[in-house]
Amino acid sequence: MSGPVNVSAGRQYRAIPGPSVVPDQVLQAMHRASPNIYAGELVEMTAGLIPDLRRVARTQHHAAIYIANGHGAWEAALQNTLQPGDLVLVPSSGRFAVGWSEMADSLGIETQVLDFGTRAPWDMASIGEVLAADTDHRIKAVLGVHVDTSSSIRNDIPGLRQLLDEAGHPALLMADCIASLGCERFEMDAWGVDVMVTASQKGLMMPPGISFVFFNDKAAAARAALPRISRYWDWAPRANPEEFYQYFGGTAPTHHLYGLRAALDMIHGEGLDNVWKRHAHLAQTIWAACEAWGAVGPLRMNVADRALRSHAVTALHIGAPDGTRLRDWVEQNLGLTLGIGLGMAAPKSPEWHGFFRLGHMGHVNGQMVMGLLGGIQTGLTALEIPHGTGALEAASRVLAGR
Amino acid sequence: MSGPVNVSAGRQYRAIPGPSVVPDQVLQAMHRASPNIYAGELVEMTAGLIPDLRRVARTQHHAAIYIANGHGAWEAALQNTLQPGDLVLVPSSGRFAVGWSEMADSLGIETQVLDFGTRAPWDMASIGEVLAADTDHRIKAVLGVHVDTSSSIRNDIPGLRQLLDEAGHPALLMADCIASLGCERFEMDAWGVDVMVTASQKGLMMPPGISFVFFNDKAAAARAALPRISRYWDWAPRANPEEFYQYFGGTAPTHHLYGLRAALDMIHGEGLDNVWKRHAHLAQTIWAACEAWGAVGPLRMNVADRALRSHAVTALHIGAPDGTRLRDWVEQNLGLTLGIGLGMAAPKSPEWHGFFRLGHMGHVNGQMVMGLLGGIQTGLTALEIPHGTGALEAASRVLAGR
Amino acid sequence: MSGPVNVSAGRQYRAIPGPSVVPDQVLQAMHRASPNIYAGELVEMTAGLIPDLRRVARTQHHAAIYIANGHGAWEAALQNTLQPGDLVLVPSSGRFAVGWSEMADSLGIETQVLDFGTRAPWDMASIGEVLAADTDHRIKAVLGVHVDTSSSIRNDIPGLRQLLDEAGHPALLMADCIASLGCERFEMDAWGVDVMVTASQKGLMMPPGISFVFFNDKAAAARAALPRISRYWDWAPRANPEEFYQYFGGTAPTHHLYGLRAALDMIHGEGLDNVWKRHAHLAQTIWAACEAWGAVGPLRMNVADRALRSHAVTALHIGAPDGTRLRDWVEQNLGLTLGIGLGMAAPKSPEWHGFFRLGHMGHVNGQMVMGLLGGIQTGLTALEIPHGTGALEAASRVLAGR
Amino acid sequence: MSGPVNVSAGRQYRAIPGPSVVPDQVLQAMHRASPNIYAGELVEMTAGLIPDLRRVARTQHHAAIYIANGHGAWEAALQNTLQPGDLVLVPSSGRFAVGWSEMADSLGIETQVLDFGTRAPWDMASIGEVLAADTDHRIKAVLGVHVDTSSSIRNDIPGLRQLLDEAGHPALLMADCIASLGCERFEMDAWGVDVMVTASQKGLMMPPGISFVFFNDKAAAARAALPRISRYWDWAPRANPEEFYQYFGGTAPTHHLYGLRAALDMIHGEGLDNVWKRHAHLAQTIWAACEAWGAVGPLRMNVADRALRSHAVTALHIGAPDGTRLRDWVEQNLGLTLGIGLGMAAPKSPEWHGFFRLGHMGHVNGQMVMGLLGGIQTGLTALEIPHGTGALEAASRVLAGR
């Protein structure tokens, strides 16, 4: 054979774990003149976004929209419920749990991080012990990352609620669903979550730029008890605005709101249960290929137990420098971009080049996933990285329901 | 004659004081697939945005981009320089000065507001006295709104610097240029401004969603002296990032960055001095019409002295309920949206209906302004609101340079 | 005063007589991935376009869509009804009547042009005489341009039908409504028109690229009697397709079809009668200004009689070189583009520089027209071209219904 | 296993043989306000399109742009070179050769079709005999379809030139490159082609709506000898316009021209030779999978000989009703649209359901092709259609250059 030919020119597929692929409908909706922000279409439309956001979060409670990325939503959740000197418990199975705790730390909040590494979910017994031991209820909140985008571990949020209940502990249960909302089952009210944060650029299929905090009455009471809250982060006027600008603590994110309307229409048009099933089915398809590749050679999925894997992102290790070589090859030759590894090694360190991730969140379907897997197969082959055979057919059988 | 016919169907012109008209080039640039956020085009492009932002701000110093609206930029400026218990001085000539002081107040910062009403600029003597009297330098910063969008007064930022210098006062000089940057002369370094905040949706011609804080080394030193700063607002990593995500304290506002690139290209393509001249010329055109209308009947401009008027926004009073009637009529009949009055009366109170504003900021040219003025003339006529004659020709003569 | 400042940077207004301003809704609808052309959404949508096109044409009869400009629709109408050696009568009051006759001539069709100049409508008596004299019915069709875009004269289509009827003449009545459809009253069936041609880029508010031929059963019978018809132009399969591709004689104009859907939704959403009223009211507004300017100095409207003026385009003369000077000045200084004169003098000849035209068709409203007129006023002033006073206020009074 | 889950919601991939996938750059370029059509940017840009079109066609000769689909370009080529009663020779290996001959027939041109079926290329010996026998040169043109989109056979255009030369026959050599230009090698001048037609919606990556005719001086001479030519089709003013509108025989296709500019920039940016190599490599990838599938069960490629296969489209047979079942399944379940079979059986007849086609033309890259193949594999599996194993890995090895 004559060696590879560069066949990258065509539609680029960025299979990174966010920002995810933005649907044409969302981009079309955002390509418009600036609307009036005082009356008319935008003002009326915005009121209708709130119930549809709540439906995605499975909550009857309150929703606040922020012009911010997910880190901003983290801060918003903390600023509305905690004050300097408060203690929070942060069970960690990845970089983003650490990030949230660092955010709390920067606000003067004391953090107790339970570090379960980057390849295992929370150890529920350990968490239970800490809660039980906290008899004077110094812990004011437990910050739980539902799916850690770095490790692709999905943690047990309902289990965390059960631990709090068993310990009779009044701490707020706060969940980060940035990488899971709109991708896999999350039931804010049924699971007893008090505060949930998420952002626009993953399961919600939008460009980054807005994020969301959902909260229940218990969390609202915590806010009411604070001596002060920054006006920008204060969720009370955002959730119950008297004037339109209060939804956003100032000027509305006009174009993102139109995009959000289109994205919510797509999600509810498909049906949230169907959206979850789609993500689950595509995740299983991807796992089938990864497991087959891993039968021979260095590739392994970060999370061994299928029950603990995210349906939206998959973290992998293949050994340095092949992670980076593979990512580079498929991008430069096939028009396929894979995600870098995160939180597994110091950025750009030698070991860092051994990790990568796949995003499969939001606007993703069967043919896209087969393109993703076919691209990886091709990269492994071109780079002569040892791998098991039959991966694509194994994935295809899962996809076919056989 | 047969009475008016609804002729609103056509291109809508929203002559509100922000969000301003977004150029097609900006919308085109934002209509794109999600980019890779770890390497490649976006990462390279972002580095180039910073010097071009600095050129608009006329500074050699530091720039931080925030996913936030202007209120977020206000908070960012405060969070990086002040702590609870600090005192700030806020000379006010409009609603937005009050708003910034309220923001400070919500953060536990003590505020001393010098209220000069909504029709007059700062009284420089009074400010000078306060500064001179503050011999123990309790005032840590002076918050000056360059152009208050509510009153359309332009305040004297260089004069404020002079007062500080004359008093030998070390307080930081912080300027809000949300309604002026990219519209009229502002010289951050030459005028001795330590911190400047602005946002995307006015002179920068973009959808709302990102805002900016510029700061010099003195302000950076103030930050360095703080015990802690929220990670979201911390400008240090944003201005000097080691990793790309640090520019934005998390996920990048991908699509807004492409829009910003297009907007900066337009501004620097035209030349910032030319942009300022254009705004000045169009403002004079508008003033000529308003002054002619006001020769007879109730219309008056909020700012009597031409030297004190913003070049980007014009606040007017016509008496209730004619302000609202006029706004409604031109929107419903001609496709022209005027801005509501802000900060002049309680929202939706009887008196509130007497005020309105014109936005003429950013992507605005001669034919647009004549459409705006022609629309107002038509509304005045249709509603039989008394007004002076010859306004449109007077405006046209100014526009023609005659 | 200091002379004019270039204030052209802003939204450009191209007030040319087509292509007209394309609404954002149409552009949004066209910004999409290529659809399937064999089944699904596009195929279903296309069937629904036909009745909505018929409603704009006020006909119960047949419609054919062509990928072509208006000249292509001219040829289509001729190719389906006439053969070499046939005679057509072409009453002319402008360049486009001549153009259609030249098209016929190029096909070997004999043409009898009745030239009524460029400032007068058809002389109905003359036409009646020709028809009466044609006792052996050599004339197979009369080609009537409803509104000639070059002269802005509107001709009397129902009167032409009456002449044919009075003469008992069987010739087909064919109307060119390229510059009038969707702008002013046209009633294909009620007026007894056998064939009507139009195009997308004027009253239908779309980019150029598709055009339309409507025909009744009498015209269909003429086609059936022809020995042969080119497959591309043949309207029979287009109007009654068995397969989807036959609508378009090959590949469908996919993106234009989505744009057409949006444009028709806008027209029928406003109501065709309202669309006509809007154009009439805006035309009267423009005339009021032009008549006032013309009271002093060189400006004159091409058509003296209001009853004969198009509601969509206005042709003017101001004397060379001021037509060109005025067009150049308002474009370069204000962001306003006026149309060149057409058919009044040899292109780029000295005299040609004395003519210009205004387009006011399709997506146009009150504020746009005031911007157009204000721009002209400013240009006249800047260039010191003598003109009457009070034009803008006169226009504004008409617009206001006073 | 639990059966398939609908995972179609995501980016749709329409792998049909045109309209092909339109790049974002092209759609962005087309999303704009109507330009001035008399002067300025559009007029200047258009002049630059012609040499860049010529470079794609590999000709130094003339180019005419038509607002029309490919069928319109067929007619244009015929109308400029032939008249009723002339004879053309049409060697056929698919539906589109027949279509072009029918187009000629509708114009009164006599056609001699040499039908070589739908699975074989031209029989060069037979063609040579016909040409040799035509000693009085009644044949005025030979119409050769380079790649027949229906059968995916690529015919030997240089060989056809050789036959004409060997016979000393003066007939024009006319090539249809609708499905090949911008996809695989075509050398108009080097191969001695006199007239070439193509269209926008395949290798040129644009929405349908414009098409192209290239011609040399010999063809121009044929036109000059004709008694008359329709003004719409006449290529002379289009190729050598005195006025801008003559490029297009009327109003310019404004938005398509901006799209064409973007598309040509992409092609020449990649390099035409690289574009050809990319298509060849992707075609070989597809063939590897199809051949592997065909090793067991009913799937077969229409063209057995690799040297005769198009690089842009692949026709397949799988037996009724499995062609339709497969197309339906992958569209409804995976978001992948395959092309219907064309010209192999009566539309919608029982046998028709056994055929399908794959488009791989224009904006297509490695990951897209693996998505296409992975989708087919999945459909075959889900529907239990027998097929050989190892197809995806075989394809991937080719793609990897191994």
Q: Do D337 and C27 touch (CB under 8 A)?
A: no
Taking 70 as the pLDDT cut, the residues of chain B under it are: 1-3
Q: Please report which confidence band the pLDDT of residue C4 belongs to, taking 50, 70 and 90 as the band edges.
A: confident
Where do runs of H (alpha helix) occur along A114-205? 124-133, 157-167
User: Which among D328, D187, D182, D190 has a CA at the least distance from the CA of D263?
Assistant: D182
Q: Please identify which residue in the block is written with the tokens 């378009």.
A: C248
Chain A residues touching C41 at Cβ < 8 A: none
Structural domain contains residue B16: no
Q: How far is C367 from chain B (nearest CA, A)?
A: 5
Structural domain contains residue C282: yes
**pLDDT at residue A233, as a whole number:** 98
**pLDDT at residue C1, as a whole number:** 44
Single-letter residue type at D43: V
- Asked if the peptide bond before residue C91 counts as cis, ω within 30 degrees of 0, the response is no
Which of C74, C250, C340 faces D70 most closely, judged by CB atoms?
C250
Mark residue B124 as left, alpha or beta (left: phi above 0; alpha: psi -120 to 50; beta: remaining): alpha
pLDDT tens digit sequence for D165-203? 999 999 999 999 999 999 999 999 999 999 999 999 999
Q: Is the dihedral of CA C204, C207, C208, C209 positive or negative?
A: negative
Query: For the residues A253-269, what does the mean pLDDT come to?
Result: 98
Question: What are C157's two structure tokens?
Answer: 């289509």
Specify whether D248 is located in the same domain as D322: no
Contact B19, B207 (CB under 8 A): yes
Specify whether C143 is located in the same domain as C98: yes
Is ipTM over 0.90? Answer: yes
Domain boundary residue, one of A235, A268, A301: A268
Which of A69, A234, A340 faces B250 most closely, judged by CB atoms?
A69
Q: How far is B389 from chain A (nearest CA, A)?
A: 30
For residue A61, report the phi and psi dihedrals to the nearest 5 degrees.
-95, -145
CA-to-CA separations, A188 to A57, A123, D77, in angstroms, rounded: 6, 22, 66
**Residue D307 neighbours by CB distance under 10 Å:** 8
Chain D residues touching A281 at Cβ < 8 A: 4-5, 7
| Cβ within 8 Å of B, D 19-48 | 24, 27-29, 31-33
pTM: 0.97
pLDDT tens digit sequence for C269-287? 999 999 999 999 999 999 9
Q: Do C366 and B335 touch (CB under 8 A)?
A: yes
Q: How far is C246 from chain B (nearest CA, A)?
A: 34
Single-letter residue type at A173: L
Distance CA B121, CA B224 (A): 34
| Cβ within 8 Å of B, A 87-126 | 102-103, 106-108
Domain boundary residue, one of D246, D268, D290: D268
pLDDT tens digit sequence for D370-396? 999 999 999 999 999 999 999 999 999
Q: How far is B94 from chain A (nearest CA, A)?
A: 16
Chain C residues touching B275 at Cβ < 8 A: 9
Chain D residues touching A2 at Cβ < 8 A: 401
User: Which among C197, C200, C399, C185 has a CA at the least distance from the CA of C287?
Assistant: C399
**pLDDT at residue D4, as a whole number:** 73
Which residue of A24, A25, A28 is the best one to mutate when testing the C interface, meaning the one whose CB has the most C CBs within 10 A? A28
Chain C residues touching A28 at Cβ < 8 A: 28-29, 31-32
Distance CA A279, CA A154 (A): 14
Chains adjacent to B (≥3 CB pairs closer than 8 angstroms): A, C, D
| Biggest CA pair distance of chain C | 72
Q: How far is B354 from chain A (nearest CA, A)?
A: 16
**Residue B246 neighbours by CB distance under 10 Å:** 16
Question: What are C400's two structure tokens?
Answer: 């206001």
Single-letter residue type at C229: I
Q: Do C27 and D32 touch (CB under 8 A)?
A: yes
Which of A24, A27, A33 faces C24 most closely, judged by CB atoms?
A33
Q: Is the dihedral of CA C58, C63, C67, C71 positive or negative?
A: negative
CA-to-CA separations, B172 to A102, A140, B5, B123, in angstroms, rounded: 29, 37, 56, 19
The answer to whether residue B306 neighbours chain D at the CB level (below 8 Å) is no
Query: For the residues A253-270, what does the mean pLDDT come to?
Result: 98
Q: Indicate the length of chain D as a whole number.
A: 402
Single-letter residue type at A152: S
Distance CA A246, CA A257 (A): 15
Q: Do D228 and C108 touch (CB under 8 A)?
A: yes
Specify whether C262 is located in the same domain as C361: no
Chain A residues touching B106 at Cβ < 8 A: 228-231, 234
Query: For the residues A149-160, what does the mean pLDDT come to?
Result: 98
Q: Please report which confidence band the pLDDT of residue D1 belongs to, taking 50, 70 and 90 as the band edges.
A: very low
Q: Would you say residue D3 has pLDDT above 80?
A: no
Q: Do B231 and A256 touch (CB under 8 A)?
A: no
Which of C8, C392, C401 faces B3 most closely, judged by CB atoms?
C401
User: Which among C169, C177, C170 has a CA at the least distance from the CA of C195?
Assistant: C177
Chain C residues touching D253 at Cβ < 8 A: 69, 207-209
Q: Would you say residue D2 has pLDDT above 80?
A: no
Tell me what percent of the residues of chain A surpass a pLDDT of 70: 99
Distance CA C320, CA C350 (A): 7
Q: Please report which confidence band the pLDDT of residue A3 belongs to, taking 50, 70 and 90 as the band edges.
A: low
Chains adjacent to D (≥3 CB pairs closer than 8 angstroms): A, B, C
Structural domain contains residue D200: yes
Q: What is the DSSP string of C231-271?
A: TTT-HHHHHS-SSGGGGGTSS--HHHHHHHHHHHHHHHHH-
Domain holding C199: CATH number? 3.40.640.10
Full domain range(s) for residue D348: 271-399
Where do runs of H (alpha helix) occur along B24-67? 24-30, 41-57
Q: How far is C362 from chain A (nearest CA, A)?
A: 19
Which of B14, B199, B232 faces A72 most closely, judged by CB atoms?
B232
Q: Indicate the length of chain C as a whole number.
A: 402
Which of B31, B68, B229 faces A31 most closely, judged by CB atoms?
B31
Q: Do C28 and A32 touch (CB under 8 A)?
A: yes
Nearest CA in chain A to D4: A401
For residue B67, report the phi and psi dihedrals to the nearest 5 degrees.
-80, 100
Mean pLDDT score of chain B, rounded to an integer? 97
Specify whether A277 is located in the same domain as A379: yes
Q: Do D11 and A333 touch (CB under 8 A)?
A: no
Q: Do A28 and C33 touch (CB under 8 A)?
A: no
Question: What are A208's two structure tokens?
Answer: 């980054």
Structural domain contains residue B25: no
Q: Do C71 and D251 touch (CB under 8 A)?
A: yes
Domain holding A300: CATH number? 3.90.1150.10
Query: For the residues C124-129, what does the mean pLDDT come to?
Result: 98
Q: How far is C167 from chain D (nearest CA, A)?
A: 32
CA angle D112, D115, D117 (to 5 degrees): 165
Q: Do C207 and D14 touch (CB under 8 A)?
A: no
Structural domain contains residue B323: yes
Domain boundary residue, one of D238, D268, D298: D268
List, in order, residues 6 or more apart from C16 with CB less than 8 Å away: C337, C338, C339, C357, C359, D36, D37, D38
Query: For the residues C313-342, what does the mean pLDDT come to?
Result: 98
**Within its chain, how far is the Cα of C387 from the centroid?**
29
Q: Please, what's the b/e burial string for B254-264 (b: 16 or more CB within 10 A of its CB; e: otherwise)?
A: bbbbbbbbbbb
Nearest CA in chain D to C229: D106
Q: Please identify which residue in the block is written with the tokens 């919600």.
A: A204
For residue C119, report the phi and psi dihedrals to the nearest 5 degrees.
-125, 0
HSE of D254, CA atoms in CB hemisphere, 13 A: 24
Q: Where does residue A223 rank: exposed (0-12), middle (13-18), buried (19+ CB within 10 A)?
A: middle
Distance CA C333, CA C337 (A): 10
Chain C residues touching D251 at Cβ < 8 A: 18-19, 69-71, 199, 201, 208
Structural domain contains residue D13: no
**pLDDT at residue B279, as a whole number:** 98
Q: Do D256 and C209 touch (CB under 8 A)?
A: yes
Q: Do C33 and D12 touch (CB under 8 A)?
A: yes
Q: Do A365 and D335 touch (CB under 8 A)?
A: yes
Distance CA C91, CA C123 (A): 8
Question: What are B105's two structure tokens?
Answer: 């107040």
Q: How far is A2 from chain D (nearest CA, A)?
A: 6
Specify whether B78 is located in the same domain as B210: yes
Q: Please report which confidence band the pLDDT of residue A1 belongs to, taking 50, 70 and 90 as the band edges.
A: very low
| Strand bridging mode B313-317 / B355-359 | antiparallel
Specify whether C48 is located in the same domain as C186: yes
Specify whether D222 is located in the same domain as D241: yes
The answer to whether residue D11 neighbours chain B at the CB level (below 8 Å) is no
Q: Would you say residue A272 has pLDDT above 70?
A: yes
Contact C60, D48 (CB under 8 A): no
**Residue B355 neighbours by CB distance under 10 Å:** 25
Q: How far is C39 from chain A (nearest CA, A)?
A: 19
For residue D215, report the phi and psi dihedrals to the nearest 5 degrees.
-150, 150
Specify whether D219 is located in the same domain as D337: no
HSE of A191, CA atoms in CB hemisphere, 13 A: 23
Which of A201, A228, A230 faces B75 most closely, judged by CB atoms?
A230
Single-letter residue type at B200: S
- How many domains does chain B fold into? 2
Query: For the residues C312-329, what does the mean pLDDT come to?
Result: 98
Structural domain contains residue B26: no
Which of B21, B392, B398 faces C11 most closely, judged by CB atoms?
B21
User: Which among C229, C184, C192, C226 has a CA at the least distance from the CA of C64?
Assistant: C229
Q: Would you say residue C242 has pLDDT above 90?
A: yes
Structural domain contains residue C18: no
Specify whether C249 is located in the same domain as C370: no
Chain D residues touching B24 at Cβ < 8 A: 31-33
Q: How far is A112 from chain D (nearest CA, A)?
A: 40
HSE of D360, CA atoms in CB hemisphere, 13 A: 34
**Residue A375 neighbours by CB distance under 10 Å:** 32
**Intra-chain end-to-end CA distance of chain C, in Å:** 34
Query: For the residues A138-154, what does the mean pLDDT come to?
Result: 98
| Biggest CA pair distance of chain B | 72
Nearest CA in chain D to C29: D31
Specify whether C362 is located in the same domain as C217: no
Question: What are A324's two structure tokens?
Answer: 């980076």
Q: Please report which confidence band the pLDDT of residue A4 belongs to, taking 50, 70 and 90 as the band edges.
A: confident
Q: Please, what's the b/e burial string for C335-344 (b: 16 or more CB within 10 A of its CB; e: otherwise)?
A: bbbbbbbbbb
What angle separates helix D391-400 from helix A366-382, to the nearest 10 degrees? 50
Question: What are D278's two structure tokens?
Answer: 């990319």
Specify whether A282 is located in the same domain as A353: yes
- Asked if the peptide bond before residue B298 counts as cis, ω within 30 degrees of 0, the response is no
User: Which among D338, D242, D249 has a CA at the least distance from the CA of D286?
Assistant: D338
Specify whether A262 is located in the same domain as A364: no
pLDDT tens digit sequence for D54-73? 999 999 999 999 999 999 99
